[in-house]
Amino acid sequence: MAEPLPLFDAHLHPEALTDQDLESMRFFGVEQALVVAHHFPEPTAKGLRQHFDQLVEKQLPRLERLGIRAWAALGVHPRCIPRRGLSEVLSHLPDYFEGGRVVALGETGLHAGGEEEEEAFLEQLALARQLKLRVVVHTPLKDKERHTRRILTLLRQSGLLPSRALVDHANARTVRTILEVGHWAGLTLHPEALQADRAVALVRRLGSERLVLDSDAGDGAGDILGLARTANLLGKAKLSERLVRRVTRDNAARFFQIHD
């Protein structure tokens, strides 16, 4: 069996995965990962801070123990906006960015849309701009094109440098627009988002510039081997190893400014 390419999974929710899941991902090449803050039922300001602490204090060391070097992105998901206390949560976020293990704000963005989500998104973009942070931006499965257009408008209005936003869960209808305005685009290899063969076709057409592949494993019925399977298919499609390495590892490290 050929040695798998070293992979960087740029969107992972390990708290919903077993050790065996993570060991399988490591066996098939995932050497680095970004743990991304997620949503949970009935969020409160206290619950969000506990979620952030759990990711940094438990999930990052857990991944390291299983052989995966890991960093985190912390932010308030649009499905996890507390009824009260958002400002309190955001006021504590800067503390997490000291020490080098939390490398981005996210995931934030829009899910159902509306004033509350937009205000929370803009508040977090303002914080990211102030702290010069990278941002992982969520786009929803439902009505993706309309919500993505609105997200791109809000990103432009925020004044955040386009190169500091990774707009994730892009698809064939949204990825080119995301790239054209200067953002990075994430292709999520998830049964509900993008199949591996479709991702290969998009990479063949678009190339590797500012394109990042990830699995979103741990969110619903995901595919823990989605990234590895796609890397294998990219090689079989006669795409260069350099291009494959860029979209499955190097671009993520470059975006999140990870040098080790």
Position 190 scores a pLDDT of: 87
Identify whether 192 is preceded by a cis peptide bond (ω within 30 of 0).
no
Residue that the structure tokens 């080790």 belong to: 260
Q: What is the predicted pLDDT for the residue at 221?
A: 79
pLDDT at 1: 53
Distance of alpha carbon 57 from the chain centroid: 19
The residues that bridge with 165 in the sheet, in sequence order, are: 135
Helix (H, G, I), strand (E, B) or coil at 44: coil
Contact predicate 128/135, CB 8 Å: yes
- Quote the CATH superfamily of domain 5-254: Metal-dependent hydrolases (3.20.20.140)
Block residue for tokens 């206390």: 85
Tokens of 168: 């994730």
pLDDT, position 229: 94
- Low-confidence stretches of the chain (pLDDT < 70) are 1-2, 260
- 146-203 pLDDT, tens digit each: 999 999 999 999 999 999 999 999 999 999 999 999 999 999 998 888 889 999 999 9
Distance CA 93, CA 193 (A): 29
Between CA 57 and CA 85 the distance in angstroms is 23
Instruction: Give residue 21's pLDDT.
Output: 97
CA gap 47, 245 in Å, rounded: 37
Contact 259, 223 (CB under 8 A): no
3-state secondary structure of 220: coil
List C-alpha distances in Å: 153 to 122, 133, 157, 188, 225. Answer: 11, 19, 6, 22, 34
Reduced to 3 states, what is the DSSP secondary structure of residue 8? strand
Q: What is the pLDDT of residue 40?
A: 92
Distance CA 154, CA 251 (A): 24
| Beta-bridge partners for 108 | 137
Question: Quick one: pLDDT at residue 118?
Answer: 98
What residue ranges do the domains of the chain occupy?
Answer: 5-254
Cis amide prior to 107 (ω within 30 degrees): yes
d(CA 117, CA 115): 6
